[in-house]
Amino acid sequence: MTKTLDQTDRRILTILQQDARLSADALAERVGASRSSIQRRLKRLNETGVIAKEVAQIDPEQVDDQMTFVVEVELERERVDLLDEFKRSMMALDEVQQCYYVTGQADFVLIVLAKDMKDYDRLTRQVFVENPNIRRFATSVVVDRVKASLRVPITD
Amino acid sequence: MTKTLDQTDRRILTILQQDARLSADALAERVGASRSSIQRRLKRLNETGVIAKEVAQIDPEQVDDQMTFVVEVELERERVDLLDEFKRSMMALDEVQQCYYVTGQADFVLIVLAKDMKDYDRLTRQVFVENPNIRRFATSVVVDRVKASLRVPITD
DNA sequence: AGTGAAACGCTAATGGC
DNA sequence: GCCATTAGCGTTTCACT
């Protein structure tokens, strides 16, 4: 909880967000510390959950022709139990890459992946249209995935 | 370009999207192949760019108290050179975690991180308000980051 | 063509000092 | 920060199919 992340920690995190395959030696050189120091820090950063996980980023176009959609969802009533139920259903759907509960006219903003429009249509019918708790949803089709990361800016 | 990814490749990709730290031995066991086969596949998947990179996912709350914003941006005129200029400026901004060029009333949807409202306000003044090419932008504040990944669903 | 098994040297990570 | 041990990696070779 009490995260005293010093400058070295922050530099490590900045680097690992771009490339998690770097060895402790390479990191040591870049941030100006010894390898053992780096490894102790890495262990701590992993154990405390600052580094949540390391994942491979896949090029969507090379796997299947995947389309991306931005979806705004407005619920009928904002009851806590219904909100939670909606959140849980979004968590469970592989096609929903991201889900944000937001202020403003919409209640949720989603990033959704699907193979094609037909596939997307099938998904929305299943998840939104047949859900009486959803007042409306608006879809934007992503033409260009200009930038897509989960990178957190870290000032050191 | 489009390699035929077989079932084993797809399983590997699915697993690595959740945890890129697994050893070739561990992968071999999970997908039912030998270590050498896995390593040959990994090499190919990396060289062809199917696996674009491996990155560490940081818990934003443990680094700084970061707020997340969803921003819709509408440009004044959709001239190709102006679109490209806007895309480039988004690429360059660390605070812009994601940027999608979309169909619909908005031209772009952004996911933006900032320390607080003041910080966000400063950013928008700089990037949007003082840009004559931007007709309007609408901000939603993220209350709950329900789900945030870049995971591409891979059916095998 | 790709697979699985074995073996090579090397680099990197781990835990104790 | 250093050292010794262990683990994992990258590669090659070979027989198989």
pLDDT per position as a tens digit, A31-88 = 999 999 999 999 999 999 999 999 999 998 888 889 999 999 999 988 899 999 999 9
Estimate in Å the CA A76 to C1' D10 gap, whole number. 57
Same domain (yes/no): A65, A33: no
Amino acid (1-letter code) at residue B108: F
Q: Which burial class, exposed, middle or buried, applies to B102 when counting CB atoms under 10 A from its CB (0-12, 13-18, 19+)?
A: buried
Give yes or no for CB of A5 within 7 Å of strand C. no
Residue B90 tokens, joined = 């988004």
3-state class of B32 per DSSP?
Answer: coil
In a domain, B102, yes or no: yes
Same domain (yes/no): A14, A75: no
Residue A97 tokens, joined = 């890459």
Using the Cα atoms of residue A141, residue A145, residue A151 and residue A152 in order, give the sign of their dihedral: negative
Range of the domain at A90: 60-141
Estimate in Å the CA A29 to C1' C3 gap, whole number. 40
Report the CATH number that the domain containing residue A26 is assigned in CATH: 1.10.10.10
> With a CB-CB cutoff of 8 Å, which residues 4-63 of chain B face chain A?
5, 10, 13, 16-21, 48-60, 62-63
What does the pLDDT read at residue A3?
Answer: 55
In a domain, B43, yes or no: yes
In total, how many domains does chain A have? 2
Q: How many residues does chain B have?
A: 156
- Nucleotides of chain C in contact with protein CB (under 7 A) are 2-7, 11-16
What does the pLDDT read at residue B140?
Answer: 98
Give yes or no for CB of B8 within 7 Å of strand C. yes
* Closest CA of chain B from A118, distance in Å: 16
Same domain (yes/no): B76, B137: yes
DSSP label at residue B125: I
- Whether A1 has a pLDDT exceeding 70, the answer reads no
